[in-house]
Amino acid sequence: MSGSQTESNVAAVVCVPTFRRPIHLEKTLASLAHQVEGVNFAVVIVENDDECREGKTVADAFLKSGALRGICVVEPQRGNCRAINRAFETALDSFPSAEFILMIDDDEIASPLWLLEMTGGARQSGADIVGGPVVRFFETAPDRAATLHPVFDPGLSFSRFIPSLLGSGNCLIRRHVFESFDAPYFDLRFNFLGGGDMDFFQRCRSKGFTTYWSNDAIVTESVPAQRMEAGWILRRGLAIGAINYQIDCKRYPSLLGRSLIFIKNFLTLPLSALRAVSMFQRTRCLLPTLHPICIAAGRNLAAFGFSPSPYKQPSRPNATPRDLPHLSM
């Protein structure tokens, strides 16, 4: 980006929260540095590892070289939502002219036209929020069951308006959306569970904000071998169920609402069996077939206090929270 750019003419800010993925982060930032020109943008990198700070070392090198312009800050309090909230707040405060706040994960690579497609989709559609596909790149050859699993589904197949996004790994949010909420934007109740993004986008939908899917705004996510293992995939299904349950509890806190949620939980068990049969007919594979059953089980386990915590501190230095999902009380 040109050295003549100032905070007053930055149109977009790309937020990159990072935790113990220095090699992947370098690839992510390199993909941002090679965006096709046309959008004046800056980056905000949030290092969520206050101990090693390997991500900050990578980010500082990019910023000092002039390959990217922006800010790298350290968020000492651990957790997915804390890092993302810090990124959003820093972007909004440091670049007051930026209309578009985007986010990409630190294990994703943006296609060269990504930024143009995201901002162009927002301008052409007039939408408040824009999302795009996350195409998986498997670091080792996956088996058929993994490629057919819904967890690795990249998203929709054509551009159009949609009800809301399910994740923040490839998203654009206009500034005025944030201005309608009080900080923190992602609810800290989802800090270690995940799902703070889904909860936020559902609240945006409730406020009447529109969401557009830009199918050409592609990012590629690296999928390590451990995330293709059956155990990880099954635990991911449990986590999705727990997230759905917690969002329902937040939306319907009344006694009547909780009663309806209890009934919903009960009904998900037999319904999940029917969905599993349908999934097996489509895939002829056991692993994707178990996905709806895992989601239903995750909902019901969460109701009894068993909650996944995939974003807690990993037990080994080179691991990432998403590589180590586990259940806690």
3-state secondary structure of 110: strand
- In this structure, the answer to whether residues 317 and 189 fall within a common structural domain is no
Q: 193 and 215, same structural domain?
A: yes
* Residue 245 reports pLDDT greater than 60: yes
pLDDT in tens, 61-102: 999 999 999 999 999 999 999 999 999 999 999 999 999 999
Whether 59 and 193 share a structural domain:
yes
pLDDT at 320 over 60: no
For residue 1, tell me if it sits in a domain.
Answer: no
Q: Domain for residue 313, yes or no?
A: yes
Same domain, 214 and 315: no
- For residue 128, pLDDT over 90 is answered with yes
pLDDT of residue 314: 54
Please identify, among 225, 258, 293, the residue that sits at the C-terminal boundary of a domain: 225
187 and 321 assigned to the same domain: no
> Cα separation of 241 and 150, whole Å?
14
Do 20 and 41 have their domain in common?
A: yes
Average pLDDT for residues 189-201, to the nearest whole number?
Answer: 96
User: Which of 225, 249, 265 represents a domain boundary (last residue)?
Assistant: 225
> What are the E-state strand segments in 54-106?
70-74, 100-104
Beta bridge partners of 73: 46
Say if residue 3's pLDDT is above 90.
no
Tell me what the mean pLDDT of segment 263-269 comes to: 97
Percent of the chain residues topping a pLDDT of 90: 88
Report residue 6 as tokens: 């100032």
Q: Taking each helix axis as running N to C, give the angle between helix 291-303 and helix 255-283, from 0 to 180 degrees, rounded to the nearest 10.
A: 160
Total domains, the chain: 2
Q: What does the pLDDT average to over 302-326? A: 62
- Does 217 lie in the same domain as 74? yes
Give the separation between CA 57 and CA 64, rounded to whole angstroms: 11
Could you give phi then psi for residue 64, rounded to 5 degrees?
-70, -30
For the chain, give the mean pLDDT.
Answer: 92
Whether 17 and 63 map to the same domain: the answer is yes
- Choose the final residue of a domain: 178, 205, 225: 225
Together in a domain, 135 and 148: yes
Say which DSSP state 34 is in.
T
Residues 235-258, mean pLDDT to the nearest whole number:
96
Residue 128's alpha-carbon distances to 44, 88, 163, 200, 323, in angstroms, are: 21, 16, 12, 13, 32
Structural contact between residues 296 and 269, judged by C-beta atoms closer than 8 angstroms: yes
pLDDT value for 323: 42
For tokens 């969460």, name the residue.
302
Asked if pLDDT for residue 6 goes beyond 70, the answer is: no
Please indicate, yes or no, if residue 114 is contained in any of the structural domains: yes
Domain interval for residue 111:
7-225
Contact residues for 67 (Cβ-Cβ < 8 A; gap 6+): 29, 30, 33
CA distance 47 to 16: 9
**What is the domain-level CATH number for residue 180?**
3.90.550.10
Q: Indicate whether 49 pLDDT > 50.
A: yes
Q: Is residue 2 part of a domain?
A: no
DSSP state of 105: -
Note whether 160 and 28 are same-domain residues.
yes
Nearest to 114 by CA among 12, 7, 202, 228: 12
